[in-house]
Structure 1
């Protein structure tokens, strides 16, 4: 007798199972491919976003606040349009590379000030930068001139500038700043600090429009 393991299946028997190593195609489920694509894309976005945030955190040596992590998971850098950013004042969300570069530049400048401060009376010491400040928004996505930074220690936004501009009177968090911007775009009539409107289909904030283009600007209506 031939051992069972050596018996060859009959080629003309349709009821026989396919040899091992071959896989039958799974039956198609309506919408399943689209769901799978979304799941894979979402997982990849979360992975790359987390890795980017971890790299920045290591570069800055600061634990990133959860609201900043959430923002950078969605987007990290605002190209805007025609040189304009989407934030009030036509400011832009900085790229992560610019965040690291500005933080290193400002930290090094403050270290130099601290060396001079060591020989000065306390009332004459100059502190223009704190290590817990994280630059977030600037005049452009890679700008090193001025903008807003988030204090990881307090959760409040503040102004950073090479020109030592005075801080804003209103203290915003990243959440309240974003919510006010969203409210302004949804209900423009309630705009308090800056007014949005289009120029050639691009969102532009009134406070930073070049006077020669001001006649092309129209206020946004809700």
Structure 2
């Protein structure tokens, strides 16, 4: 996983300087411990490694689907807020297999730097990433589960950047030095987006 991130970081530094300039330093031990204290399950080692390696960033587009690592202070806040939401959850919703949130779900990636309306979370039990939306679509238990490990998600992003011709899930491109994946092109940006080629 660390090697995959180093490949992504090197590519971004060379080809997407605006995205590279927005990267934050790796998280310190105290920051990681604060998140561990905030969640109700043991944070998997793979995730603590990710945080200590990457930390977080402030521009969209570094990872597949235009997701970025959520800064750690926001991880703790997001998790606490979701658990508060669950306190008033209807039993019938849980019985239907659509819980609002579970203690073992740890938010990791977001495709919006402030709202976290769309999140990839790590299920601490399975070690897999899933999509979550505050609007209810693409959540755990549906047919659109992400089903990636942290390592495979980063490796696919690195492969897609270095070998865009073989990218299957999303295609990388640039807008004014910012890495923007094809799925994240906003209205009015299509003519500015330049696909990355080999």
| Separation in structure 2 between the aligned mates of residue 70 and residue 141 of structure 1, nearest angstrom | 21
- 2:68 pairs with 1:112: no
1:166–1:186: structure 2 CA closer, same or farther, 3 Å change rule? same
User: Match of 2:131, SS?
Assistant: strand
Which consecutive residues of structure 1, in runs of 5 or more, have no partner in the other structure?
Answer: 1-44
**Pair member with larger Rg:** 1
> What is the deviation of 1:85?
3.3
- 2:129 pairs with 1:157: yes
* Structure possessing the higher relative contact order (Cα contacts under 8 Å, 6 or more residues apart): 2
Residues 94 and 142, structure 1, Cα contact 8 Å, conserved in 2: no
- 2:62 pairs with 1:86: yes
1:121–1:182: structure 2 CA closer, same or farther, 3 Å change rule? closer
1:155-175: CA deviations, max 9, x gaps?
000112211112434410111
1:217–1:130: structure 2 CA closer, same or farther, 3 Å change rule? same
| Separation in structure 2 between the aligned mates of residue 195 and residue 92 of structure 1, nearest angstrom | 16
1:5-55: CA deviations, max 9, x gaps?
xxxxxxxxxxxxxxxxxxxxxxxxxxxxxxxxxxxxxxxx99x62221111
Corresponding residue to 2:179 among 186, 197, 203: 203
| Separation in structure 2 between the aligned mates of residue 125 and residue 150 of structure 1, nearest angstrom | 18
User: Match of 1:216, SS?
Assistant: coil
Which residue is 2:107 aligned to? 135
| Separation in structure 2 between the aligned mates of residue 102 and residue 154 of structure 1, nearest angstrom | 21
Which residue is 2:71 aligned to? 95
Counting only pairs closer than 5 Å after superposition, residues 1-222 of structure 1 correspond to structure 2 as 49-80=28-59, 84-113=60-89, 116-117=90-91, 123=95, 127-167=99-139, 168-222=144-198
Normalised TM-score (structure 2): 0.78
| Separation in structure 2 between the aligned mates of residue 140 and residue 60 of structure 1, nearest angstrom | 22
Which residue is 1:32 aligned to? none
| Separation in structure 2 between the aligned mates of residue 185 and residue 122 of structure 1, nearest angstrom | 39
| Separation in structure 1 between the aligned mates of residue 158 and residue 83 of structure 2, nearest angstrom | 32
The alignment covers a number of residue pairs equal to 170
| Separation in structure 2 between the aligned mates of residue 207 and residue 103 of structure 1, nearest angstrom | 26
| Separation in structure 2 between the aligned mates of residue 136 and residue 123 of structure 1, nearest angstrom | 26
Displacement over 6 Å in runs of 4+: none
> What is the deviation of 1:106?
0.9
Which consecutive residues of structure 2, in runs of 5 or more, have no partner in the other structure?
Answer: 1-24
